Structure 1
Amino acid sequence: MDLGIHYATFTTPAWETTLVDHLIATAKVADEGGISLFTVMDHYFQMVDFGGPFEPMLEGYTTLGYLAGVTERVNLSLLVTGVTYRRPGLLAKIVSSLDVLSRGRAQLGIGAAWYDREHDGLGVPFPPLAERFERLEETIRIVEQMWSDNDGPFEGAHYQLAETICLPKPVRGRVPLMIGGQGERKTLRMVAQYADACNLFTGEGVPGVAKKLEVLRRHCDELDRDYDAIRKTILYFGDPVAEPDTFVRDMEEYAALGVTLAAMMAPAADPAAWATAVVEQALPRVKDL
């Protein structure tokens, strides 16, 4: 079982002067301690559950680009990019640049987007849900084309690109694609059709994740996709530091379902100290699952 750290809030103590210090310290602990993935959110405004728009929120890819320069090993991603936030061609270029600058450590996490207030607030169009899923599928096709040898045009219902040129290409030829979300009819079917990985929430515990994975398996069967080729990841809502035994038991059960990475949200109070405890206490107990 690999572990990831999701840096979901920048409202650390005295954040006005220490935000960057807390971020760097936590990322370096993750990088040096064997954490597999370090993620931040892709939002213009902070979510209401974390205090709302008047709490600090850094722009996602700017943040990952900065972290690429202060880390060496940990993989970097947004959890997840909203399809409405950037035009697809620009997104492919941004993620490719991150992969090159991090020497092959970027991952593209993407989803259909949902936070209407931040779109309205900054004047970004927010189409209906059905259209956002259409745009998500076209965006995936565009980024894959831009990372391929095909630099010709793309003609879609929502996006038209005259030339899909992207140089330099990602270090590995393409960047691994993770689709976030767990909608059974559209999202998980899109995972089966396009993604290298999925990311599921653990709000309903192990039974909830098991149900979603069964739906994913059915979509894979229908599309003749190898279910085992898709990496199963979760955003774990427990705390491995506060409840270490519960965490280990949960990871054993998730591992039995085929989950190979669990990301956890760093607390605002002292994220670097928490990350240190995760590395020293939690990771050794689950890394061989």
Structure 2
Amino acid sequence: MRLGLQVGITKTQNRSLSDYLIGLAKQADQAGFSTLTVPDHFSLRPESTPWLRRDESSSIPAVTDFYEAWSVLAFIAARTSRIRLSTMVSGITMRYPAVLVKTADTLDALSNGRAYLGLGASPGFGADEHQRMGLPFPPAGERVTRLEEVLQMALQLWSGEDKPFEGKYYQLASTLGDPFYIQRPHPPILIAGQGNRMLRLMARYADVVSIGFAQNLDDMRAKLETLHKHCEDLNRPYEQIQKTTLMMAPTAHNGHLDPAVLNTFRALAELGIDEVMIGAPADPATFDLLATELLPAVEKIPVTGR
């Protein structure tokens, strides 16, 4: 099993984000964390971000602003050499799709083949964010349909074929070009989601999927079973798809992590989860424990089906 990091990129007081990211990324790269992901948002109201840690002694801001995700990933890529990089994930309503594909293509080239194209259908809680940024926010069903078009567009752009792309929502005059990416056949496609239509898209297009949260094993088991069925219907080997999930960083007590946390990782591995993305802790001492205690232990856990 692999261990990745989900890193927050919001404005925080009393620290330089650039210094924090440089230190964290270099430590994660050297320690052997497999992937570093960042959320792709611009600004969210507090009711949309219950997962964000906030200082109870200070007032809650009207909105939480995020640094632009792909710029942050490029900044990190320049200071690391091994760790893989992705958004978790980019909603397809946030940027024009062909530009987003070009952005991921460029990051893969500049990072020497370490980028994912992380995509999602844009979560429902983002409606306010879109309105304040002047971005259209179609209904959920349309967003999923648009996501499939974007996936088809990405594959055609990466193919370099000299022909138009003619979708219901997106049209390109030509997809002729010489993509920059290094990975073959293209940067891996990472899709996050959980609804039945999303799981079917994952079965058809994803190289990597992010499903649910580690705390709800029964829900995750059900979604993986649905994904497996869709793979069978599409005649695609289920084993071809790498599976990930998100998890809050374990807490430390008396200078050590609770050994019981490994039971959760073992249970996830039994479900076939290949990688767990844990939230990067704000406390440097806890990060050191993750790197020196948790990471080596997790890497020894076998994953069912691998």
- After superposition, the Cα gap between the structure-2 partners of 1:44 and 1:53, relative to the gap in structure 1 and judged at 3 Å, is farther
- After superposition, the Cα gap between the structure-2 partners of 1:23 and 1:150, relative to the gap in structure 1 and judged at 3 Å, is same
Partner letter of residue 107 of structure 1? Y
Name the CA distance, whole Å, in 2 between partners of 1:52 and 1:162: 44
TM-score, structure 1 normalization: 0.92
Question: Where does structure 2 lack aligned partners over 5 or more consecutive residues?
Answer: 53-59, 302-306
1:1-289 equivalence runs, <5 A: 1-15=1-15, 18-46=16-44, 47-49=48-50, 50=52, 54-114=63-123, 115-173=126-184, 174-183=186-195, 185-202=196-213, 204-237=215-248, 239=250, 241=252, 243-267=257-281, 269-270=282-283, 272-289=284-301
SS in structure 2 at match of 1:259: coil
8 Å CA contact retained: 2:160, 2:178: no
Q: Percentage identity across aligned positions?
A: 37
TM-score, structure 2 normalization: 0.88
**RMSD across aligned C-alpha pairs, in angstroms?**
1.8
Name the CA distance, whole Å, in 2 between partners of 1:42 and 1:214: 28
1:244 is displaced (CA, Å) by: 3.3
Partner letter of residue 8 of structure 2? A
SS in structure 2 at match of 1:118: helix
1:169 is displaced (CA, Å) by: 2.9
1:69 is displaced (CA, Å) by: 0.4
- The number of residue pairs the alignment matches comes to 284
Question: Where does structure 1 lack aligned partners over 5 or more consecutive residues?
Answer: none
8 Å CA contact retained: 1:89, 1:164: no
SS in structure 2 at match of 1:96: helix
- After superposition, the Cα gap between the structure-2 partners of 1:73 and 1:24, relative to the gap in structure 1 and judged at 3 Å, is same
Higher alpha-carbon deviation: 188-197 or 19-28: 19-28
Name the CA distance, whole Å, in 2 between partners of 1:162 and 1:102: 29
Name the CA distance, whole Å, in 2 between partners of 1:58 and 1:9: 6
Name the CA distance, whole Å, in 1 between partners of 2:65 and 2:178: 33
- After superposition, the Cα gap between the structure-2 partners of 1:231 and 1:205, relative to the gap in structure 1 and judged at 3 Å, is same
